[in-house]
Amino acid sequence: MPDTPASATPEQDARRRRTTSWVVFLSAAALVFDGYDLVVYGTVVPVLLADPSHLGTVTPGQAGTLGSYALVGVLVGALAAGAVGDRVGRRKVMLVNLAWFSIGMAVTATTQSVAAFGLFRFLTGIGVGALVATVGALVAEFAPPGQRNRYNAIVYSGVPAGGVLAALTAIALGDSIGWRGLFWIGALPIVLLLPLAVWFLPESPKWLVAHGRTAEAEAVSVRTGIPVPAPEPEVADKVGFPALASRRFAYPTALLGLMSFAGLLLTYGLNTWLPQIMGEQGYGKNHALTFLLVLNLAAIVGGLVASYVADRVGAKRVVTATFVLAAFSLAILPLSLPAGVLFLAVGLAGVGTIGTQVLIYGLVSNYYPTRARAAGVAWCAGFGRLGGIVGPIIGGVLVGAGVGGSTAFQLFAVVSLAGAVVALAVPRPAHAESRRRDLRPGEVGSTVTA
């Protein structure tokens, strides 16, 4: 289906494409720094474990717990964004939390103790969680019909892209700028992205219409070229989290949360502990970080390819398949594999774990109607972060007990299989798109949301 209204003028068409491009770019760039924050901690864990002069003595168990503090903050931030995002709008939440996240990273870089480091990891995580929960709703409301999984995959691929950035930065600059310098780099969004977002990020016309602000939606449409949809049939006028608890959505919401729990347990567990586990298996520092690089690069490529397939056969089937792929690749990682096969297995693990989570966000953001969409993505990101909290802790406990990486990989493989089973059980969305009429900018008409 074409992504522009048949009756749109070339000028309107150009404005629409330009606006959508800015929304996608700003959302993806914000998530690059989410991914950077996730992986940069994994790159500095070996340094903090080896040298107490930085923050004091850090044990493997403490390192796992410190990794989880940010995720507790992400949980709080995601749920808070879900509570207000469907009421105050997508744009305000994005702007506030770009600044919040950046300031948190900057202050973390100055901390001198384990306690202060953990506190500001938590506070930084609040901004990260709010961004993750908001961009899914935002992109789902700007993406062309028939391409929503692909657009979500492009945006959420910012997370593994940030992981790639963190791994490359740690390899190239870690010795010269130290772990504090790596965290200062994570504070750049406040000067690089926030001014652009203030100028180029519009409010979603779908959100405005869903809240009865049709005149504002028409003004935004004229300025941006984004069509104005008709009001959607809603869930007894419930907004946000109350809609998720309704009879219509309660069961699938629980399953989607569990699916995200599994995906983020795998994502955070591997990103936090893969360098340390590979280092203990005899690989040098740069080789261990290279595994992290391969994990995230493969997730980007694999996630984009899988999203293209998901737009054609359905995201649920593809998520199930990639979870199974993760289980297979994680199960063979502990084997004595040739170097080339080992890197391939790590890449497949990236597709099946981080890439799967990218697809999950796309599935969730298109599952709910506009008045519940931010809450749905927030639930996915927030409850899922409980898995992200558990993952680093499991790795820390196993490494601290001297069990080694084999047991961790095997446990992660079991989680992957469980995620596939949950994905199969998710019912089809009740409001799946059955028809759509693209509208001229500034015009209100009939449409059904996917």
Residues contacting 427, CB < 8 A, separation 6+: 251, 252
How much is the pLDDT for 286? Answer: 61
Q: How far apart, in Å, are the Cα atoms of 231 and each of 206, 210, 213, 446?
A: 8, 6, 10, 8
Collapse the DSSP code of 436 into the 3-class scheme (helix H, G, I; strand E, B; otherwise coil) and give the result. strand
DSSP 200-254: H-PPPHHHHHHTT-HHHHHHHHHHH-PPBPPPPP-STT--SHHHHTSTTTHHHHH
Residue, of 43 and 107, whose pLDDT is higher = 107
330 — pLDDT class (breaks 50, 70, 90): confident
pLDDT in tens, 440-449: 344 343 333 3
Per-residue pLDDT of 201-222, as tens digits, reads: 888 888 788 777 888 888 888 8
Place of tokens 């931030």: 77
DSSP letters for 80-108: HHHHHHHHH-HHHHHHHHHHHHHHHHHHH
Helix axes of 250-280 and 285-313: crossing angle, nearest 10 degrees: 150
* CB 281 within 8 Å of CB 123: no
Q: Which of 368, 74, 33 is nearest to 206 (CA)?
A: 368
pTM given for the model: 0.74
What share of the chain has pLDDT > 70, as a percent? 85
Compute the mean pLDDT over every residue in the chain, rounded to the nearest whole number: 79
* pLDDT exceeds cutoff 70 at 280: no
**Residue range 258-270: mean pLDDT, rounded:** 87
User: What domains does the chain contain, in order, with CATH numbers?
Assistant: 10-425 (1.20.1250.20)
At residue 7, the pLDDT reads 57
Range 134-157 average pLDDT: 80
For residue range 342-398, what is the model confidence (pLDDT) as tens digits? 888 889 988 898 888 888 888 887 787 777 777 888 888 778 878 877 877 777 777
Radius of gyration for the alpha carbons in the chain, expressed in angstroms and rounded:
21
Of 277, 311, 253, nearest to 430 by C-alpha is: 253
The reported pLDDT for the residue numbered 213 is: 82
